Structure 1
Amino acid sequence: MTFANTTAYQKMFLGGWTFGHKNVQAANATQIGRARIGLDTMIEIFRNDSPMINLDWENATKDVNWTTDSDPFNPTNLSVVDFYKSLFGYMDAEENSKIWFNNRMWASMPINMNSFYNAVLRVLRPPGLSADDAGILAINHPMNQTVEDGLNTKATQKIVMFRIVLLLLVLCVITSSFTMLLVDEDSSY
């Protein structure tokens, strides 16, 4: 995607998205298989040793709600074993999609994110729904302030001045309290 800048009449790179990037940190099928074997071994050890110490570890989290009741993604009535076995489905994927954007243009990130997710939504739309009827509307209001602009506001300047005056006042009181003792000692009546 490019954007014709209205002031300089030049094309600028907004960004885009690409598919098929290999994630070097993602576990492959062999590593996931080894992790499953390790988890099964650990579960078997817990099953064999928990009666010795009277620990019911399999039902320790039964009927425990870790989040709010209205959370649609909250796994209900999962045992510890079921919870860990469900984690294998959420490991990192070997192939990733990347969204690229120009961070000098304020609206480029939301534009590219929106176009990517619109493409995904239109590919995965239910049958019978037209691609024109499926879409996500993104509204963006970028702030055209830099960090320097944010620090140069009147409120920030007033706070800085108040702190300087307070610091000077404190330093004056502390030094004057020591000098008063010295002057008081040398006085004669």
Structure 2
Amino acid sequence: MKALTLRHPWAFAIAHLGKRVENRDWDARTADLMGLPQLVGETIAIHGGTAPQRPKRAGHWSQLAETNLWRQHCEDLQGVHRILGGELPDSAAQYLARRGVTALTPEAFILPGIVAVATVADVDVHSTDPWAVPGLLHLHLTDVITLPEPVQCSGKQGFWDLGDDLTAIVQARLTPPAPQQWGHLTAQEWLQ
């Protein structure tokens, strides 16, 4: 399975906020070198990169310089979320509750590791999706499944191969556990 590492907060947006277009500033040659045409129709892993750096003495994220790239991305994400209606999907609300966070703040967007899998449905440069940035290459994602917990691992630039071990871990997290058996009864039958 191939994976794609994203900067924060975009992995969170795909996993929890319904972002279904990933923007890349790749030209056609770079897309070909990355093997993108062959990935249409394939399932890929969505990986959140390392946590963004911020000055040690920085207080709240809004005190960062307006030119700070992480701050700009988080503000962009909050803006798109408001445009899309401002309601949190259940998976995002549950994730934030587990982390003890009550609002969409930049700290909530840091979600490192493999956070979801998705199918690359199409690639174009003319998407009208609200998440699409005009003039960039748009990877359209479908069948997004958010993992219950991220699979911690290092990422790489571009598309990269998970390897057999990580692929097995991701697939195991996607598969619900089989019902426990006691003799010929399932756990549910046994409890009745």
Give the TM-score normalised by structure 2. Answer: 0.20
Larger Rg: 1
| Structure with more of its chain in strand, by fraction | 2
| Structure with more of its chain in helix, by fraction | 1
